[in-house]
A and B are shown apart, each in its own frame.
Chain A
Amino acid sequence: MRWGMVINLAKCTRCHACIAACRIEHFLPLGMTWPRLIAWETDIPGEELSTIPVRCNQCKEAPCVEVCPAEATKKREDGIVYVDNDKCVGCRYCIIACPYQNRTFFSKDKDPGYFPGSERTRFEKAGHKLYEHQAGTTEKCDFCLERIDAGMAKGLVPGKDREATPACVNTCQARALTFGDLDDPNSEVSKLIKDKNGFQLHPEYGTEPSVYYIDYKLGNAPSNVAPREEQTASHLQHLSTMEARAKQIFGKK
């Protein structure tokens, strides 16, 4: 069993809901971001701006696991790479070694409170009790392993049952994120990767990421072309409202 995720870029509406869901699920401090939605400029006329959601790739050959001097970063049998914050010494070598830069060092200045200068909200106070973030250690996405473990203990199937599925996947209103077992050829993720020519970021590093992307532009595969009717209505609506504003902010080189 190896948990993995497929991100359909043709369906992503750039709504940031996955990032918000992660923030809520893990009570992330203000300066901490586990998944990111990054944007870049293209030279395709009319499509000057494009985005891509990124998060820890849960690499099969994870450099962060190999370099950690305290064995604080570990890989489970199901492929999830996680950080034991009680062991992390905060040397930040894992941050340096991650070619995808999906790790963040948590220092106290990254937790000024959501309303700096004011008292912490009830949400923040609850978060400090429920999900303690240790200053001086490194953090990253762990595919919501608590949800997976708790769900599987109840006999649920991650990727199918919401209770056992990562929060970002549950919240994605465009269903751009799919979660499942990469080792199971009949799982939805495996089928998507096979049928839509899923690709990984920088496979040449030999890290074998567990996060795959499918897209009609980046993959350069004819089968990846997403017919317009398959794109969600919210996607089209979002593009129409955001494109002008995004162009205004990012400008053109």
Chain B
Amino acid sequence: MSRMATRQWMITHEWMVKPMHQREWIERRGIMIWIAETFTSLGAGLYLVSLFVGSWWGLLAGWVIIVFIKLPIHIAYFGKPWRFYQTMPPWSNAWKTSWFARGILFSVFFSMLGFVQLVFGQPDFVNLVGANICNPIYYTFGVLAGLNALGVGIYGGFIMNYVKGIPFWNQGLLPVLIMLAGVADGFGLIMAVGLAGGDASVIWAETGSRYLLLINVLLITTYMISAGYSSETAKLSIKELVAGPSAFMFWGGLILLGLIVPAGISIFGLIEGGEAATPLLITAIAAHTIGAFALKYCILRAGIYRPLLPKISAF
């Protein structure tokens, strides 16, 4: 038997015999899910932070990221992208049980409500129509779009959290981790809006970023420890991240660039008595964004299924 034929024979037999990685959402076309999920966090986080600080340019950037980057990439991943509409009412009522369907609905509602909010918040439009007409609409749609942005930012966590076969994902903290990481990314990007001359305060963004980074360090540590207690397979996932094939992305991308570098620059700025120098801020923003990609990569890559067989169900 040739080597190739032996290998093919073995692949069939080895299926789910040992802890097995999920591949659909990280390998080959699955890379699109990684990218889409990252932009989901970036866009939703930026929108929420912009709502909080009242930055129209931030809102616009967050909305553009969700509508023109996240959604198209996500839909392009589908095997039948043109059937996209079939995931929504009246064609499907799956939103009652499926977080995927809910996520699509959140995204669509966010796109529409956010658009209205952006139009009624646009300074030239407000001058033209009048603040007394625009402001109520702007704030009403702001609340509605904000709620949907929250849904967009958190649904990915619930999607993964639901998967019982992957103990590393099946943790209650995952949606919170993903949501707060998204908000931290939002603080990173709002700094970029401020630096680009937008209507956002860089010092305020730096302060927010500092707190969120601290919270995220605690969350990631708690998540890893609690997941490690849940099962042997989850321990394997952690080993994969800490000392396995994904260690470079975990330590280099998530911990160093995503957490240490932005936190270091932020603390440096604090010591200097204001905001850090522009090149340092640009470095922090870039590191933040790379960290966002690294976090999603690590979560998706560490998705390992428990084996099928009772004999080794210790996993």
Contacts and interface: CB of A to CB of B under 8 A. Distances in A.
Given A70-B87, A137-B80, A202 B92 contact: no
A101 B6 CA distance: 23
Interface in B158-172: 159, 162-166
A40 B165 contact: no
B301 interface: no
B97 A38 contact: no
A17 interface: no
B162 to A, nearest CB: 6
Contacts of A97: 162-165
A101 B86 contact: no
Interface magnitude class on chain B: 35 or more
A89 B86 contact: yes
Interface stretch (B14-22, B42-50, B129-137): B14-22
A90 interface: yes
B92 A70 contact: yes
Interface in B17-73: 17-18, 20, 22, 24-25
A52 interface: yes
B80 A93 contact: no
Contacts of A137: 79-80
A249 B100 contact: no
B85 to A, nearest CB: 9
Interface string A56-78: 00000001011111111000000
Contacts of B305: 99, 101
A90 B22 contact: no
Contacts of B83: 70, 87-90
A27 interface: no
Given A71-B94, A98-B165, A99-B306, A93 B159 contact: yes
Contact of A39 (B14, B78, B91, B100): B14
Interface residues of A, number: 51
A91 B165 contact: no
Contacts of B6: 249
Contacts of B94: 68-71
A207 B162 CA distance: 13
Given A70-B83, A70-B87, A101-B305, A42 B311 contact: yes
Contact of B10 (A42, A96, A249): A249
Contact of B15 (A88, A101, A199, A207): A101
B104 interface: yes
B78 A91 contact: yes
Contact of B92 (A38, A65, A71, A98): A71
Given A38-B15, A107-B79, A70 B86 contact: yes
A69 to B, nearest CB: 4
B283 interface: no
Nearest to B312: A40
Q: Describe B's contact surface by its main secondary structure.
A: loop
Contact of B311 (A36, A40, A95, A202): A40
A226 interface: no
A5 to B, nearest CB: 16
A29 to B, nearest CB: 15
A101 B24 contact: no
B313 interface: yes
A63 B170 CA distance: 13
B24 A38 contact: no
A92 interface: yes
A38 B94 CA distance: 33
B15 A91 contact: no
B308 A54 contact: yes
B78 A96 contact: no
A243 to B, nearest CB: 15
A82 interface: no
A205 interface: yes
Interface of B: 6, 9-10, 12-18, 20, 22, 24-25, 77-81, 83-84, 86-87, 91-94, 97-101, 104, 159, 162-166, 303, 305-306, 308-313
22 contacts: A38-B16, A39-B13, A40-B309, A54-B15, A54-B16, A63-B163, A63-B164, A67-B98, A70-B91, A87-B86, A89-B80, A91-B87, A92-B25, A93-B159, A96-B166, A97-B162, A98-B165, A101-B15, A201-B308, A202-B306, A218-B311, A250-B10
Given A70-B101, A201-B309, 11 more contacts: A33-B12, A36-B15, A51-B13, A68-B100, A89-B78, A96-B24, A134-B80, A137-B80, A202-B308, A218-B311, A249-B10
